[in-house]
């Protein structure tokens, strides 16, 4: 026969949120008040009563400490401030994309110049560029031509790019990675 579900089953904390009020299951906690002053070690029930008396919540901030550290604070305000901090850090993140330019060992000068301008534009936008030289059929025997294509492109972009990964073979293609480098001062 199955046992009835536990009464406090719905008290499991959501995701990585700290335990609050009745969710704190340890017998004794170290309490810190809203100003950051240590109040000392309390029984959990007494600490919750103290928090309720002040119209605030008891929030477990260091569950792995012995005894766990709990803070008397407004949990809704704490969640709101954390949400704002997270939004600010996401806003400040810079997402670097990797653009790809494909060449062939037989790519002619004019086409090469067009590719070079595209790579320069990508680098100025702050993106990394993966330069791929594809070899077909018997062209694979002339890896030196592909490597010279990559080196030539890197030399043309020496003012705008840093070679993050030098040319190397990856199956039937040669790959080189360029990252945005020094900005032009003109």
- CB atoms closer than 10 angstroms to residue 174: 23
The rounded Cα 66 to chain-centroid distance in angstroms is: 31
> What average pLDDT does the segment 57-82 reach?
90
Bridge-based pairing state of the strands 128-134 and 98-103: parallel
* Mean pLDDT taken over the chain: 88
User: Which structure tokens are listed for 145?
Assistant: 């031509």
Tens of pLDDT, residues 153-171? 999 999 999 999 999 999 9
Find where tokens 């790519």 sit. Answer: 107
Tens of pLDDT, residues 120-165? 999 999 899 999 999 999 999 999 999 999 999 999 999 999 999 9
pLDDT at 115 over 70: yes
- For the chain, list the domains and their CATH numbers: 9-89 (3.10.20.80), 98-180 (3.30.110.10)
| pLDDT at 71 (0 to 100) | 92
Tens of pLDDT, residues 75-94? 989 889 989 999 998 888 87
| pLDDT at 145 (0 to 100) | 93
| pLDDT at 5 (0 to 100) | 59
pLDDT at 4 over 70: no
Find where tokens 């900005």 sit. Answer: 183
Task: Find the length of the chain.
Answer: 186
pLDDT at 186 over 50: no
User: In this prediction, what percent of the chain has a pLDDT beyond 70?
Assistant: 89
Which pTM does this prediction carry? 0.54
Instruction: State the pLDDT confidence band at 109, using cuts at 50, 70 and 90.
Output: very high
């Amino acid at each position: 026969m199955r046992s009835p579900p536990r009464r406090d089953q719905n008290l499991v904390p959501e995701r990585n949120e700290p335990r609050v009020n009745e969710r704190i299951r340890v017998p004794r906690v170290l309490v810190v008040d809203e100003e950051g002053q240590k109040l000392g070690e309390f029984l959990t029930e007494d600490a919750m009563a103290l928090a309720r008396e002040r119209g605030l919540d008891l929030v477990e901030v260091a569950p792995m400490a012995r005894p766990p550290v709990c803070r008397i604070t407004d949990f809704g305000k704490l969640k709101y401030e954390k949400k704002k901090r997270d939004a600010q850090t996401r806003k400040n993140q810079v997402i670097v994309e990797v653009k790809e330019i494909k060449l062939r060992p037989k790519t002619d000068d004019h086409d090469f110049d067009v590719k070079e301008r595209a790579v320069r534009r990508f680098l100025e936008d702050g993106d990394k560029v993966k330069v791929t030289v594809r070899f077909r059929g018997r062209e694979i025997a002339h890896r030196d031509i592909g490597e010279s294509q990559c080196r030539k492109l890197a030399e043309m972009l020496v003012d705008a790019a840093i070679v993050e990964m030098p040319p190397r073979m990856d199956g039937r293609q040669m790959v080189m990675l360029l990252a945005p480098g020094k900005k032009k001062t003109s």
